Amino acid sequence: MKSFSYDASPARIVFGQGTIREIAEEVRRLGRSRVMVLASRRLDTLAADVTESLGDMAVVRFDGAVMHTPTEVTTAALKLAETHHVDTVVAIGGGSATGLSKALALRAGFDQIIVPTTYAGSEVTPVLGETENGRKTTRSSPHIRPETVVYDVNLTLDLPLDTTVTSAVNAMAHAVEALYSAESNPITDSMAIEALSGIARALPIIVGDPRNVEGRADLLQSAWLAGTCLGTVGMGLHHKLCHTLGGSFGLPHAPTHTVVLPQAMAFNAPAVPEVMSRIATALGVSDAATGVFDLVTSCGGPISLRELGMSHDQIGRAIELATAAAYPNPREITPTGLSELLENAWSGRRPAIR
């Protein structure tokens, strides 16, 4: 028997098809009336529909959210929000919109309604990652976690396949690291296994039929479970490394997770063989790390940091940054071990079966 403590996520979840029509009611439910709508220009039509549904409650729109939540963007959005006396943020999109919403809530106490269009999972976490002067740092606080998440499966039906794959593997990373977290417990373990099974089951279906509603719903629910794991227990080397690569070298968030995950799993495998066995079973493969790598390959996802734009001479700096501070991980992190991991990730080498 394992002793543990567990804090349930208090976020309200609205899940289904067409649920975006319920956003105005969710604002009223929070007792709020002055909304900033966050959405990229790519989502102009969707943002316009939401703005219209909010009526007079929508007082301003901001479309400048970018990856890794740079503090200068947050400052600009906050100034605009304060000018319009905003009390609620409705963020539509992926991790960039969610990250900016969280940063605004932390600074000004705004309520948040997040409407994901990808499988990032960060919408249900109390964690915020921000970049300043080329360094990405994370912090956790109950004030960061959104009040309400509106999952509308219809919003994912036209998500491009490349984004679908990398976003789904990003979600998978949350579940993988939750299983070997120092804070793991039976509740998050169950959610993590279910998330991994769901992603492995749904992703090939969606690659074959991108508008398959049941597959999209399965994947969205799995991402929700994986994100809940991320928000409940601490993460390890994989997340630290991805934050370093993204914040310091400008690599794209979800693709970086996609490339690094199988390599980080292979690195940690000797220290947690039982966990890797459970992951392999959930994925329906014989080896966890190669199973993830092969899933990414079969779905057309990226497998090397080189193809994401990282130069080989940046590996040394990445090792320095990733080993600058201690953090929990099942296997000891050394410059030598990290060098091997990053060399494999840079070249896109298939992990060896252990």
DSSP string of 132-187, one letter each residue = ETTEEEEEE-TTTS-SEEEEEGGGGTT--HHHHHHHHHHHHHHHHHHHT-TT--HH
Strand residues in 11-157 grouped as ranges (E): 12-16, 35-38, 58-62, 88-93, 111-116, 127-132, 135-140, 148-152
Residues 297 and 317 sit within 8 Å (Cβ to Cβ): no
Of residues 70 and 137, which shows the higher confidence score? 70
Residue 246, amino acid: G
Look at residue 11 in the predicted model and tell me its pLDDT: 80
Q: Which pLDDT does position 147 carry in this prediction? A: 96
> How much of the chain, in percent, has pLDDT values that exceed 90?
85
> Do 194 and 144 meet the contact criterion of CB atoms below 8 Å apart?
no
> Exposed, middle or buried by CB within 10 Å (0-12, 13-18, 19+), for 45?
exposed
Q: Which of 354, 324, 317 is nearest to 339 (CA)?
A: 317
Residue 9: pLDDT over 70: no
The pLDDT score that the predictor gives to residue 86 is 98
| pLDDT greater than 80 at residue 101 | yes
Summarize pLDDT for 141-168 with one digit per residue, the tens.
Answer: 888 999 999 999 999 999 999 999 999 9
pLDDT tens-place string over residues 165-213: 999 999 999 999 999 999 999 999 999 999 999 999 999 999 999 999 9
List the structure tokens of 227. Answer: 């994100």
Single-letter residue type at 319: I
Place of tokens 């220009």: 41
The percentage of residues in the chain with a pLDDT greater than 70, rounded to a whole number, is: 99
What is the mean predicted confidence (pLDDT) over 316-326?
Answer: 90
| Residue 343 predicted with pLDDT over 90 | yes
Closest CA relative to residue 245, chosen from 164, 327, 317, 170: 317
Average pLDDT over residues 62-78: 94
Q: How far is CA 291 from CA 93, 224, 295, in A?
A: 29, 22, 6
Phi, psi for 79 (deg, rounded to 5) = -60, -45
